């Protein structure tokens, strides 16, 4: 059976997804293509595009580009140059975490594979990733489009400022996840960033207790790897090496906690009860269909657990029978 007519709704590896992607891309003209990934590597983009993406297609790239990503080479600065040379708009969103690939009206691939050699098994020692192929329905395309809400299209001016800063700081010793863009760059990026477009991939899939109890690591590595990536850590080993303060900083910098903080700022008492928070998060999620009630409760429970373990900015209490989260002024 032809691969492009199968695999819908099935979990496939990054390598299998890459083969199907290439086959579909090679047949497309005048189509919309989106490559959205937290990490992006030049060799991977070239592997996708050269000989496969026709010049008539409308291609957009969306990535994260936190300072750590570029300093550590998890993402390549040169991806912008390559996109520009092909006439492709290049967007950044500092707290973006999803991995999604829109292939015109053919299909969408979502899952854990970043746009890197390891993510798609381009290297022989690639990561073990899972991807799911879904239809390019109007609802699904709209969900992809929402990823661009609040994203910043990189201009030549912004790129040069970032490139200069990376050049000056690439040999500097730093604590992972505590690097921040200087004010001039941060202002250029944050003027465009808003906190819409939260998805399940932006939520915590574990309660974080595994950092304190290694017994919980067993049979939970997929969810743990997701949360590590959400926090900006490239491996469990690196996460264990940093201080609790570094983890708190990484936690506070996630899009989910930034959204929570913005929502609580609107409230007079700066507090959320569990049910109220569950409803608020459910309303803002871009996933379609949205998670069931029990799944929503689990996402909120995980968030509260991370905050109680690693944040000094919130107080978690249980008056009567419901948990209450209060933000410290």
CB 311 within 8 A of CB 208: no
> Cα(149)–Cα(98) distance, rounded to whole angstroms?
14
Q: What is the DSSP string of 19-46?
A: HHHHHHHTT--S-EEEEEESSB-HHHHH
Are 123 and 262 members of one domain? no
Are 25 and 123 members of one domain? yes
* CATH code of 18's domain: 3.30.870.10
Instruction: Look at residue 175 in the predicted model and tell me its pLDDT.
Output: 57
Residue that finishes a domain, picked among 146, 169, 192: 169
CB 92 within 8 A of CB 64: yes
Residue that finishes a domain, picked among 125, 147, 169: 169
Measure the CA dihedral 85/87/93/96, to 10°: -90
Q: Is residue 82 part of a domain?
A: yes
**Residue 225 half-sphere exposure toward CB, CA atoms < 13 A:** 14
Are 267 and 314 members of one domain? yes
**Of 51-65, 102-116, 196-210, the least confident:** 196-210
Instruction: Look at residue 1 in the predicted model and tell me its pLDDT.
Output: 36
| Domain housing 63 | 3-169
Are 32 and 111 members of one domain? yes
For the packed helices 255-265 and 293-310, what is the interaxial angle rounded to 10 degrees?
A: 90
Are 161 and 249 members of one domain? no
Are 113 and 234 members of one domain? no
Are 267 and 150 members of one domain? no
Residue 90: count of CB within 10 angstroms of its CB: 25
pLDDT digits (tens, 9 = 90+) for 4-31: 456 788 889 988 999 999 999 999 999 9
CB 165 within 8 A of CB 182: yes
Q: Is residue 192 part of a domain?
A: no
* φ and ψ at residue 251, rounded to 5 degrees: -60, -45
pLDDT band at 3 (very low <50, low <70, confident <90, very high): very low
Q: Is residue 184 part of a domain?
A: no
Highest mean predicted confidence (pLDDT) among 110-124, 153-167, 201-215 = 153-167
Are 142 and 54 members of one domain? yes
Q: Is residue 183 part of a domain?
A: no
Q: For residue 271, give every residue at least 6 positions away whose Cβ sits within 8 Å of its Cβ, in sequence order, or none.
A: 264, 324, 325, 326, 327
Residue that finishes a domain, picked among 169, 185, 218: 169
Q: How many domains does the chain have?
A: 2
Average pLDDT over the chain, rounded to an integer: 87
């Amino acid at each position: 059976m032809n691969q492009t007519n199968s695999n819908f709704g099935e979990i496939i590896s990054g390598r299998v997804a890459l083969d199907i992607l290439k086959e579909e891309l090679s047949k497309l003209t005048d189509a919309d293509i989106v490559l959205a990934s937290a990490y992006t590597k030049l060799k991977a983009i070239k592997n996708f595009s050269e000989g496969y993406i026709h010049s008539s297609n409308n291609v957009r790239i969306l990535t994260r580009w936190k300072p750590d990503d570029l300093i550590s080479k998890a993402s390549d600065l040169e991806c912008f140059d390559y996109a520009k040379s092909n006439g492709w708009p290049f967007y950044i969103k500092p707290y973006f975490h999803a991995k999604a690939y829109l292939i015109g009206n053919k299909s969408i691939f979502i899952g854990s594979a970043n746009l890197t050699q390891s993510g798609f098994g381009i290297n022989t020692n690639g990561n073990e990733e899972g991807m799911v192929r879904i239809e390019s329905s109007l609802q699904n395309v709209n969900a992809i489009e929402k990823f661009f809400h609040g994203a910043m299209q990189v201009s030549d001016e912004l790129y040069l400022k970032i490139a200069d800063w990376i050049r000056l700081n690439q040999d500097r010793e730093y604590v992972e996840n505590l690097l921040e863009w200087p004010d001039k760059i941060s202002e250029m990026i944050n003027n465009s960033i808003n906190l819409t477009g939260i998805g399940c991939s932006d939520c915590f899939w574990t309660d974080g207790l595994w950092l304190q109890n290694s017994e919980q690591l067993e049979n939970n590595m997929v969810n743990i790897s997701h949360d590590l990536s959400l926090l900006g850590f490239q491996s469990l080993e690196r996460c264990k090496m940093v201080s609790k303060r570094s983890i708190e900083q990484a936690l506070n910098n996630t899009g989910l906690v930034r959204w929570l903080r913005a929502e609580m700022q609107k409230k007079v008492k700066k507090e959320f009860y569990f049910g109220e928070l569950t409803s608020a998060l459910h309303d803002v999620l871009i996933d379609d269909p949205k998670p069931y009630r029990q799944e929503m409760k689990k996402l909120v429970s995980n968030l509260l657990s991370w905050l109680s373990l690693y944040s000094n900015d919130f107080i978690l209490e249980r008056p009567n029978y419901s948990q209450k989260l209060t933000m410290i002024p």
